[in-house]
Chains A and B, each alone.
Chain A
Amino acid sequence: MSEQSPISPARTTETTDAPVAGGPESPPGRPEPSRLVRVLFEGGVGRNMGLVAVLVLLAVVGVVTAPRTFPTVSNLLTVLTSASIIGVLTVGVTFVIIGGGIDLSVGKVMALASVWATTVATQSFGALVMIFCALAVGVGAGLVNGVLIAYGRIVPFIATLAMLISAQGLAELISGRRSQIVTDPVIAAIASTRILGIPLLVYLFAVVIAVGWVVLNRTTFGRRTFAIGGNPEAARLAGVDVRRHTVLLYVVSGLCCGIAAIMIASLTTTGSSTHGTLYELDAIAAVIIGGTLLTGGRGTLIGSILGVLVFTVITNLFVLNNLAIEVQNIAKGAIIVVAVLIQARARSSSTT
């Protein structure tokens, strides 16, 4: 920003009575909703009414088919706990996809971080070093992804696919293809700790969502993410450092992998190269049914989280009803197709 600007307009004072509407899509003339409603709409709940409806529908199915086991507090916490790890990965992937990229490596970067953090050598330094190690591995992998993509000009799909494969290899090399048992009591205790009856993993998930939401919707970083995903050339000519920002997006995704690595190491009390297999596809699928454009520039974090919850509830319903796991995957595939079809219809009808 220039100091000697002769033409900056006067900074207007903040007005709380400025007219507000329910997001950019709302037609003019609708009654003005409250600020809270507006914030939620902006954050994506409004755009994702369809997914909320699906969740409600699934809940009804659960209440009907498993009236004793589904509508219980403990089952709800089970669902949230099992959603938490893939959910944290999905937060990172949402950033990357809105920024116009893709990250295929999250599952195996998480596995690598879990292995590296649970070697005998690392564990000997205690829990803090283990946590630091997992985060550093995740950030390091994200940094490599980002630099290869932004400065090496490798297509994101290829760069992160290569990272997936080599992270898998490195994790196997370090662990000798064995599961490494978590002996550190602090790490082991993370998954079993409950505060006010709610597992710590669920709190962690909530914190990652909250931080992710604020960063995406309330910071310059988030705004620029939408800008470079929507039109990278326009962002560049408006003075955004697109390459540096791209690197940071993959670092965010890597950081989420590091957090998820601690969570999975604690939940399973192991670090293993087999953790996180195909998690990247579940995460991407959740982002897509959450309404984020795979081409970038549009999307919501809330939608991605709803997508994760839809998948997790489906799994939960199948388990509670003793149904075959294979059928469950068919159901997930069908949901992806239906969700994207509905969104495409909704978008074309709203733009014409």
Chain B
Amino acid sequence: MRGIVKTFPGVRALDGVDLDVAAGEVHCLLGQNGAGKSTLIKVLAGAHRPDAGAITWDGAPVAFGSPHAADAAGIATIHQELDLVPGLSVAENVVLGHEPARLGFTRPRDAEKIARRLLARLGHPEIPPRRELGELSAAGQQIVSMARALARDARLIVMDEPSAVLDPEEVRNLFRVMRELTADGVAVVYISHRLEEIREIGDRVTVLKDGRTVARNLPARTTPTADVIRLMTGRAIEYVFPPSTGPAGEVVLEVDGLGRTGEFADVSFTVRAGEVVGLAGLVGSGRSEILETVYGARRADTGGVRVHGRALPRGSVPAAVRAGLGLCPEERKAQALLLDEPVMRNVSLASLRRFARGGFLGGEAELADAGVVTAQLDVRPADPRRPARTLSGGNQQKVVLARWLLHGCTVLLLDEPTRGVDVGARSEIYALVRRLAGEGVAVVLVSSEVPEVLGLADRVLVVREGRIVHAGPAAELDEHRVLDLVMEGADMTADGLAGAGS
């Protein structure tokens, strides 16, 4: 694949991506959430048409207009969200779309034979082909999904985070099957966040970031982990971060012993007025979960949150908002915006009470005030009556920020505030965050980009596997140190596995 470009309204999801996969190799695709991995494999699987770029398959240029075309060419995809039918039997799922049939009548016994053979090959002869799929565990369904890919006699199998739902034993089994497949000349594109897996099974690595290829065909086993993570999280362009503004005020936000079973535990920190606290950590470390729990969008199992000394009730967003908290969530479109509504209504959503007298909305003041804040943030185009859908990613983010600016919050929680945001808008958002801190707002920032955390935050908390493993002033840290802290565990596991393998 060469120079693949795919744009969605407001976002350039892929911006010139290259990927080479050779027969008989396991090619690992790495990148943060939102780097474009899923979009890329959807292009490969024919689910999206690229806007530009070329795909060469077996030496000939191809253009897959539909998933069916990719399937016919021998490309099978195991998606992250399992694309199986829970109401059908295991065997029916395995042969779905390719049912053995005579004169239009299906031949269930042939289907069962095929399914039994493939499941045995995958090391799971105990899965009964007649069983209804929905009754199987998530791992069992993953196995069926793989059997289905094998049933197509695919020559390229794309696996999007298959190990996420598997236990270590099953991952080993999966790897054994992958080795058998590659020995037969099948190519595998393997996506995972777990670096240790990539060390074990991968041959070559391609790293994506912000819709671009930042590294191609690195050797999977010998590239240092630190280099890989730097490629995923680092930044090619240097940004100028506005300087920190003076000493912080009194403590505004106190988080004490916060925990949610299976996500994170024993998280305690405080944020002062005028201070920016950054949470650094890998995807899946629990950083977003911590932020959402502080906000009450997830109910804490243990611990509590206090704002200005007053405890917040667990699991109540309205109470958090009343107490002066505001969240810019990770998934802007899904979690923050009313895409069909005008910008002005998106901005005023959290502050309706201010514009209402006895529940009645006045009209003019709302439009005028929304106009004032969007103008302050330089939201373009500068018409608060435009539907939010028509804005670019950066301007949509500014609309979400404008919502809390208008509301006047004292604690601002930012989850990946610059994801999918273009270069110019990034700098503006950095300046705004600093300005708000200068005006006495307490800011908590979650970002995948270490330079962003270091450049913007006064203090940094490093989160690993649901725990805060380091807390200290940003000035005492550099990128290397943070990366070491972020992946200490992952590094050890990788070494351990490498040791066990040799």
Contacts and interface: CB of A to CB of B under 8 A. Distances in A.
Interface in B388-430: 403, 405-410
A153 interface: no
Contact of B359 (A6, A16, A18, A219): A219
Contact of A9 (B359, B406, B441): B406
Given A2-B323, A231-B339, A236 B365 contact: no
B409 A2 contact: yes
A7 B407 CA distance: 8
A9 B409 contact: no
Interface in A1-32: 1-2, 4-12, 14-16, 18, 21, 24, 28
Contacts of B363: 218
Contacts of A7: 405, 408-409, 436, 439, 441
B337 A234 contact: yes
A237 interface: yes
Contacts of A9: 369, 372-373, 376, 405-406
A284 B113 CA distance: 49
A11 to B, nearest CB: 7
B22 interface: no
A2 B407 contact: yes
A58 interface: no
A330 to B, nearest CB: 34
Given A7-B408, A7-B436, A233 B335 contact: yes
A230 B353 contact: no
B360 A233 contact: no
A2 B324 contact: yes
Given A1-B322, A223-B352, A231 B338 contact: yes
A12 to B, nearest CB: 4
Interface residues of A, number: 41
Given A2-B324, A219-B359, A240 B405 contact: no
Given A6-B440, A221-B359, A240 B349 contact: yes
A241 B372 CA distance: 27
Interface string A237-271: 11111000000000000000000000000000000
Contacts of A220: 352-353, 356, 359, 361
Contact of B334 (A28, A214, A233): A233
B361 A218 contact: yes
Contacts of B329: 237
B369 A11 contact: yes
A158 interface: no
Contact of A14 (B323, B356, B368): B368
A230 to B, nearest CB: 4
Contacts of A178: none
A47 interface: no
Contact of B338 (A15, A16, A226, A239): A226
Interface string A202-231: 000000000000100011111110110011
Contact of A18 (B341, B367, B408): B367
A12 B317 CA distance: 29
A142 interface: no
A298 interface: yes
Contact of A231 (B295, B327, B337): B337
Name the prevailing secondary structure of the A interface residues. Answer: loop
Contacts, number: 137
Interface string B437-469: 001110000000000000000000000000000
B499 interface: no
B319 to A, nearest CB: 9
A2 B318 CA distance: 12
Interface in A125-169: none
Nearest to A293: B340
Contacts of B339: 230-231
Contact of A239 (B321, B341, B439): B321
Contact of A1 (B368, B408, B436): B408
Contacts of A24: 341-342, 385-387
Interface in B290-325: 295, 297, 308, 317-318, 320-324
Given A1-B322, A237-B335, A238-B350, A12 B340 contact: no
A290 interface: no
B353 A4 contact: no
B345 interface: yes
B335 A12 contact: no
Contacts of B386: 24
A235 interface: yes
A298 B345 CA distance: 13
B345 to A, nearest CB: 7
Given A233-B335, A234-B335, A240-B318, A219 B297 contact: no
B502 to A, nearest CB: 47
B349 A235 contact: yes
A297 interface: yes
A17 B361 CA distance: 19
A1 B361 contact: no
B349 to A, nearest CB: 5
Contacts of A222: 361
Interface of B: 295, 297, 308, 317-318, 320-324, 327, 329, 334-342, 345, 349-354, 356, 359-365, 367-369, 372-373, 376, 383, 385-387, 403, 405-410, 436, 439-441
14 contacts: A2-B322, A7-B436, A14-B365, A18-B367, A24-B385, A28-B383, A220-B356, A223-B349, A227-B345, A231-B338, A231-B339, A234-B337, A234-B349, A241-B317
Given A7-B439, A237-B317, A237-B329, 17 more contacts: A1-B322, A1-B351, A2-B322, A2-B407, A4-B308, A7-B405, A8-B406, A9-B406, A14-B368, A21-B385, A223-B345, A223-B361, A224-B352, A226-B345, A230-B339, A231-B334, A234-B338
Q: Which 5 A-B pairs have the closest CB atoms?
A: A5-B408, A239-B321, A2-B324, A8-B408, A220-B352
